[in-house]
Structure 1
Amino acid sequence: MSYFNFNNKRVYYTEFGTGTPLLLLHGNTASSNMFAEIAERYGKDFKVILIDFLGHGKSDRLNEFPADLWFNEAEQVIAFLREKQYTKVNIIGSSGGALVAMNVALEVPELINKVIADSFEGEKPIKVFTENVEADRENSKHNENARMFYSYMHGSDWEKVVDNDTRAVIRHQKEIGRFFHKDLQSFKPAILLTGSLQDEFVCTLAPNYFEKAYGELISKIGHGKIHLFDTGGHPAMLTNQNSFYQLSMKFLNSKFTL
């Protein structure tokens, strides 16, 4: 197993395939294991890079996650890219990983080629989600499918990982309240925003949630495209895997941006 160091902690990563680097970034309470199936498909055309953010998967554990979680994870990615001297990297981030991907592109646009940001909230946290996250996470611990997912992502100490993430989400809402440190107008790489119209995390809030949230992002960025799948849940990347893969390959391989 391979690791790089960040703040005196070991961050797990793995690489396979050849070609332009393609970094897949996992979401909250998950690890790079969430990409186990789809990553193999990308490995036919790209040098695929998978990272477990600190406190997740095979990476070193933390006593607590920072409140500015998604920016801190972006700093981990930037440290990795600089250590490996990678440039013109493509990134696909899903759920919380989409926030990380956008933060990376905002901070070091010179290192990034294209970004696909999938199934995320927008520029700010959803207040009702944050208010209910503690109860929802506690309920998930008693759901057999959720427990199997957490265990597959992290191993036997999955409950501590979930609790750390829950506390970080709540602290972020109270202490920070915005996902990005830089203005979206400074976003340079080509970007595609994706989601599912049946995403269980947002469809109950408003049927047009993604259209509005993503539309506001694209308006501020000044370029980019949106693609919403009619079916599938959260995240769209995995619940619409075949369609997402085809869409992403067209976007990543084309000189034009869909």
Structure 2
Amino acid sequence: MAYFNYKSHNIYYEEIGTGTPLLMLHGNTASSVMFSEIAVKYSDNFKVILIDFLGHGKSDRLAEFPADLWFDEAQQVIAFLKAKDYKNVNVIGSSGGALVAINVALEAPELVTKVVADSFEGEIPLKEFTANVVEDRELSKHNENAKMFYQQMQGDGWEKVVDNDTLAIVRHEKEIGKFFHKDLAFFKPDILMTGSKQDEFVGSISPTYFEKIYGEMLSKIGHGTMHLFETGGHPAMMSNQDEFVSISKAFFAK
């Protein structure tokens, strides 16, 4: 197992395959384990890089997560890419990892070539989610499927990881309220936004949620495209895995 030192903490990473670097960023309460199957499907064309953000998976655990979680995780990624001398990197971010990917591209555009941002809520927290996140997370800790996911992603101590993440989400909405520090007009790399029209987190709000939010963001960026899957749950890249791989590879090849 390989580790990268960041502010006296160890961040776990793994590299698979050869070719153009492709960094895959996991979402909240997850870890790089979520990519164990799909990463192989890219490894014939790319050098796939997987990392566990601090506090997750095989990386060092934290007493608490920072309120500006997705920006802090972007700083971890930027430091990692610079230390490893990675340039012209393609990035795929899933859910919260998509927020991190966009932050990386905004803060260090010289490191990134293209971004696929999958199944994320937009520029600001989704109030319908944050309003109920504490109660929903408590319930999830007693749901067998959710517990199985948490245990698979985090191993021992998974409950503390979930609690840390929940608290960070609550604090972020109260103290910060936006995911990105820079205006989207400064976003330089090419970007593809993906999602499922049946995403359980946003489908109850509006069946056209992603179409509207992504459309507004792409207008501000001034370039980029979106692809919305008709079926599948959250995140779309996992529930539509084969089609997502095909679409993303075509995007990277352009």
What is the TM-score with the length of structure 1 in the denominator? 0.98
TM superposition shift of 1:238: 0.2
Cα separation, 2, equivalents of 1:13 and 1:156: 19
Displacement of 1:207 in angstroms is: 1.0
- Measured after TM superposition, the shift of residue 117 of structure 1 is 0.1
Where 1:10 maps in the other structure, the secondary structure is strand
In structure 1, what is the equivalent of residue 124 of structure 2? Answer: 124
Task: Report the residue type matching 1:136 in the other structure.
Answer: D
Q: CA deviation at 1:16?
A: 1.3
CA–CA separation in structure 1 for the residues paired with 2:8 and 2:60: 10
Paired amino acid for 2:34 = M
Partner of 2:146: 146
Give, in angstroms, the shift of residue 195 of structure 1.
0.1
Residue 53 of structure 2 aligns with which residue?
A: 53
* 1:182 matches 2:187: no
- For 1:200 and 1:127, how far apart are their aligned partners in 2? 15
Letter in 2 for 1:72: D
Per-residue CA deviations over 1:91-125 (Å, capped at 9, x if unaligned) read 00000000000000000101100000000000100
Q: Where in structure 2 are the equivalents of 1:149-160 lying within 5 Å?
A: 149-160=149-160
| Inter-partner Cα distance in structure 1 for 2:120 and 2:111 | 23
Over the matched positions of the two proteins, sequence identity in percent amounts to 70
- Structure 1: gaps (5+ residues): none
1:163-182 CA distances to partner (integer Å, 9 max, x unpaired)? Answer: 00000000000000000000
SS at match of 1:250: helix
Give the TM-score, by structure 2 length: 0.99
Matched position secondary structure for 1:21? strand
Structure 2 counterpart of 1:75: 75
One-letter amino acid matched to 2:175: E
Indicate the RMSD between aligned Cα atoms, in angstroms: 0.4
Shift of 1:253: 1.2
1:81 and 1:244 mapped to 2: Cα distance?
Answer: 25
Cα distance in 2 for partners of 1:15, 1:156 equals 24
User: Which residue identity is paired with 1:149?
Assistant: F
Q: For 1:253 and 1:44, how far apart are their aligned partners in 2?
A: 14
- Alignment pair present for 1:192 and 2:172: no
Hey, what's the Cα distance between the residues in 1 that align with 2:3 and 2:214?
34
Please tell me whether residue 31 in structure 1 is matched to residue 36 in structure 2. Answer: no
Matches within 5 A, 1:93-242: 93-242=93-242
Moved over 2 A (4+): none
Structure 2 CA distance, aligned partners of 1:179 and 1:230?
Answer: 27
3-state SS of the aligned residue for 1:120? coil
SS in 1 for 2:11: strand
How many residues align? The count is: 254
Distance (Å, rounded) in 2 between the aligned partners of 1:245 and 1:109: 24
User: Gapped runs of 5+ residues in structure 2?
Assistant: none
Q: Give the Cα separation in 1 of the matches to 2:36 and 2:137.
A: 24
Deviation at 1:7, TM superposition (A): 1.1
Question: Does the residue aligned with 2:215 lie in a helix, a strand or coil?
Answer: helix
How far did 1:50 drift? 0.2
Alpha-carbon offset, residue 251 of structure 1: 0.3
Tell me the secondary structure at the aligned position of residue 172 of structure 1. Answer: helix
Displacement of 1:192 after TM fit? 0.2
